[in-house]
Chains A and B, each alone.
Chain A
Amino acid sequence: SQKIEQNSEALNIQEGKTATLTCNYTNYSPAYLQWYRQDPGRGPVFLLLIRENEKEKRKERLKVTFDTTLKQSLFHITASQPADSATYLCALAGNNAGNMLTFGGGTRLMVKP
């Protein structure tokens, strides 16, 4: 069955450093991979989308890589700030008719001042 793994342990980093989160998947050939941010008690907020034929995508302090050979995506936040503290979710979608998302369990990021 499809499996998406994100580090379930919280990632603690110091303000100003680069945070790197990992998303690994098995038994899946996604056409699209997305990263979402989720704060406690709130819905996920869309951050970045990367397609299977793209290697890297950037938006302001965010960068996503997508390696379909390794079946892995890396999500980077540069110059991290305490306001970046949240849970980050990786979500995959195929080219099926509905493009429904399959999510990983999320990684909690804590940025300390």
Chain B
Amino acid sequence: DTGVSQNPRHKITKRGQNVTFRCDPISEHNRLYWYRQTLGQGPEFLTYFQNEAQLEKSRLLSDRFSAERPKGSFSTLEIQRTEQGDSAMYLCASSRQLAVSSYNEQFFGPGTRLTVL
């Protein structure tokens, strides 16, 4: 399978714990996005990377959220001191940006469903 993969698929944690999710994009894709989706809503953009550079992070929901893509391949999203309101599906997407003026569709992974008790 050469699609976007995410691990774990499900995570149950207690309030106050830290959690980390991993995303492996499609191999030739240089852009990687993180979104959050709550029940009955569309995905909400959080942050994105162009190769290893995080170019937009102002939409991260709070300073408890952070993301990395150290080698420009896989990425991790960490939530510190989780709260019940963090319960949601966390989605990763990737795309191939060939030039500044080009645009290619984003392909999504299966998501990680987080439940904070």
B40 at the interface (CB under 8 A from A): yes
- Stretch from A55-63, A65-73, A89-97 that touches the partner: A89-97
Q: How far is the CB of A75 from chain B (nearest CB, A)?
A: 14
Contact: B56 with A93, CB < 8 Å?
no
Interface size (A, Cβ < 8 Å)?
A: 26
For chain B, give the interface size range: 20 to 34
B34 to chain A, nearest CB (A): 10
| Residue B65 is within 8 A (CB to CB) of chain A in the complex | no
Given contacts A34-B105, A99-B103, contact A106 B42 (CB under 8 A): yes
CB distance from A46 to the nearest CB of B (A): 5
When chains A and B are docked, how far (Å) is the Cα of A44 from the Cα of B111?
Answer: 9
Name the CB-closest residue of A to B4: A43
Q: Pick the residue among A36, A100, A102 that contacts B56 (CB under 8 A).
A: A100
B-contacting residues of A (Cβ < 8 Å)?
4, 31-32, 34, 36, 41-46, 49, 51, 89, 91, 93, 97-106
